[in-house]
Amino acid sequence: MNRSAVSAELARYARAHPEDAAVLARFARLLDDTPAPFARDQYQPGHLTCSACVLDDAGKHVLLLHHARLDRWLQPGGHAEPGETSGEAVALREAREETGIAGLALHPNAPRPLDVDVHAIPAFGAEPAHAHLDLRYLVLAPEAGAITLSAAESSDARWFAWDELAALDLDRGLVRALAKARARLSAAGTRAASRS
């Protein structure tokens, strides 16, 4: 991934979200001080990941995956692969691979990234505990369509209505990102309705 492109995305995000200054400072240190900030074996101080908040086009459902190892409902996402140059490309590829849904696309007017988050990943096997510094993007599905689960990391994948999310005990960062996604779709729907 392109370090300067990610830095530019984060600078735009910082102007819109000054309340996230402490989290953004961690991203800046990672990009400035780490030789390989995108490498999944860069454990200290962590590494960059990218994920997708996937909503159906009507904004009524959220797609979540049950992560087998972490035993939590999460959004699709993961690590950059060689040759990928942007966070949004990584997030979109991961969402497509992990859900099998054709027609996934980045929301055309949502900020990129929509949200940023730093979260701890526990040690597993030879992999030490480390942090994921996650860039999150809003991705739309043409409808709440059929999922073809990639069983490599997830044990389940489902569409959830908004009122079902509270029972899932989601991570605070994911709750925040999904609130931003919902607000973006609500605002877009209101503007569309006012033009009709």
Asked whether residue 124 carries a pLDDT value surpassing 70, the answer given is yes
The residue that leads in pLDDT, 185 or 151, is 185
The residue that leads in pLDDT, 3 or 134, is 134
In the chain, where are the structural domains located?
Answer: 3-195
Mean pLDDT of 87-106: 93
What's the confidence (pLDDT) of residue 190?
Answer: 37
| Fold annotation for 3-195 | Nucleoside Triphosphate Pyrophosphohydrolase (3.90.79)
CB atoms within 10 A of CB 24: 19
The residue that leads in pLDDT, 2 or 153, is 2
What's the confidence (pLDDT) of residue 25?
Answer: 96
What's the confidence (pLDDT) of residue 115?
Answer: 98
Supply the mean pLDDT for the chain: 89
What's the confidence (pLDDT) of residue 78?
Answer: 92
Asked whether residue 192 carries a pLDDT value surpassing 60, the answer given is no
Pairing of strands 105-106, 115-121: unpaired
Confidence band of 1 (pLDDT split at 50, 70, 90): confident
